[in-house]
A and B are shown apart, each in its own frame.
Chain A
Amino acid sequence: MEEHVYDSVYLRSRDFEEGRALFETWDPNARYAWDAGVAIGGYLRGLKAGKLIGRYCPECGRVMIPPRMFCEQCFRATDHWVDLHDTGTVITFSLCYVTWDMVRLEEPQIPAVIEIDGASPGMGIMHILSEVDPDAVRIGMRVQAVWKPAAERTGAITDISYFKPLG
């Protein structure tokens, strides 16, 4: 089947750096201001106030976070806000030694999915764990949010600096 494979031309990083291959570069300058809308707007305002909130579906009875104005399972409107706790349980986690653009980290970042107390079972959000020995992190570990001081909160997911072990 070799005849069905085209011998494309392989370049090395050096070929770019040393001018052996011509290339153009471009910054797309793709910038946005995404309307948060009703559900995420409420979520962001809650974060600014130092609390996590969810939405309730009267049909399946689930309390959902991140909040949404519709229940994706029942396809009906969610009908009220529910104040949740800022504590939860680690559903899964990782010890990550690289940044989003693949720069090596000495100390790992610990992303996790955290099931939030007061929301329905399995309702997690993604955040970071800190103030914890990486080797001690376990699935099932109880954690709580560490909030930025109120004056520094802007209405963002980063108004929670990280989650740390509870107690």
Chain B
Amino acid sequence: MSMLHRIEHVHDALAWEGDMPTQGRYTAGIAGERFLREIQENGKLLGTACLTCDIVYVPPRLYCERCFDHLDEWVEVPPTGRVYTFTLVHLDLDAKPLPEPRMMAFVQLDGADGGLVHFLDEAEPEDICIGMRVEAVFKDKTERKGSILDIAYFRPVTACQ
């Protein structure tokens, strides 16, 4: 037997407002700490290599997600790569239009199987294409905090073919 009474007037439909009031504090982790420190201190990118699976992970991992081996083979990768895919984002986190749409991309780094998801800048959206060569623009060392945002964005190195 379903409900015997229902709400029949709009003003009787109440809602209670509230939130989930906790915040998060996230360690960079064992592999992430070394990766972000290297960016912060030396403006360099590191990966870890799984010799069994022949994969260079960037961001580096403590473990290979495919064979589950511990990874301790650290390699430096250059801050250059290719746009694997990209988008032009028009909304902010409140789903309101951004004043200026932002370009975002997954950049597959040279010498790595992985790469970084980040902003693209110093280019117009119509000039971006998949496969385009780009490089990381690091913030000034004094502004770096050991965060993925120590990279300000990626920018094109050469134009699309």
A residues sitting closer than 8 Å to B (CB atoms) are 9, 11, 16, 21-38, 40-41, 44-45, 69-70, 76-79, 155-156
Contact of B26 among A23, A37, A40, A156 (CB under 8 A): A23
Could you show 26 A-B contacts with beta carbons less than 8 Å apart?
Answer: A21-B28, A22-B28, A22-B33, A23-B27, A24-B26, A26-B23, A27-B23, A28-B22, A29-B19, A29-B93, A33-B16, A35-B15, A36-B14, A36-B15, A36-B16, A37-B7, A38-B5, A41-B7, A41-B12, A41-B14, A44-B14, A69-B3, A70-B3, A77-B2, A78-B4, A79-B4
* A-B contacts at CB below 8 angstroms, number: 89
Q: How far is the CA of A41 from the CA of B5 in the complex (A)?
A: 12
Q: Which residues of B contact A44 (CB under 8 A)?
A: 14, 16
CB contact list, B57-86 vs A, under 8 A: none
The verdict on B95 contacting chain A, using a C-beta distance below 8 Å, is no
Q: B23, A38: Cβ atoms under 8 Å? A: no
Q: How far is the CA of A45 from the CA of B27 in the complex (A)?
A: 46
Contact with A along B21-49 (1 / 0, CB 8 A): 01111111010110011000000000000
Main secondary structure of the interface of A (DSSP, over half): mixed
Q: How far is the CA of A107 from the CA of B12 in the complex (A)?
A: 39
B residues sitting closer than 8 Å to A (CB atoms) are 1-7, 12-20, 22-28, 30, 32-33, 36-37, 93, 146-147
Task: List the 3 closest pairs (A to B, CB-CB), nearest first.
Answer: A30-B20, A22-B28, A33-B15
Q: B27, A155: Cβ atoms under 8 Å? A: no
Q: B15, A34: Cβ atoms under 8 Å? A: yes
Please indicate which of the listed interface residues A23, A28, A38, A77 has the most CB atoms of chain B within 10 Å of its own CB: A23
Q: Which residues of A contact B146 (CB under 8 A)?
A: 22
Contact of A23 among B1, B14, B22, B25 (CB under 8 A): B25
Q: A32, B26: Cβ atoms under 8 Å? A: no
Q: A34, B6: Cβ atoms under 8 Å? A: no
Q: How far is the CA of A11 from the CA of B22 in the complex (A)?
A: 21
Shortest Cβ gap from B50 to chain A (Å): 19
Q: Which residues of A contact B25 (CB under 8 A)?
A: 16, 23-25
Q: Give A20's nearest chain B residue, CB to CB.
A: B33
Whether A33 contacts B17 in the complex (CB less than 8 A), given A24-B147, A38-B5, A79-B4, comes out as yes
Q: Which residues of B contact A9 (CB under 8 A)?
A: 30
Q: Give A58's nearest chain B residue, CB to CB.
A: B4
Q: How far is the CA of A11 from the CA of B27 in the complex (A)?
A: 10
Q: Give B8's nearest chain A residue, CB to CB.
A: A38
Whether A32 contacts B19 in the complex (CB less than 8 A), given A76-B1, A78-B4, comes out as yes
Contact of A21 among B4, B24, B27 (CB under 8 A): B27
Contact of A28 among B3, B13, B15, B24 (CB under 8 A): B24
Q: How far is the CA of A79 from the CA of B37 in the complex (A)?
A: 65
Whether A77 contacts B3 in the complex (CB less than 8 A), given A32-B17, A33-B16, A36-B16, comes out as yes
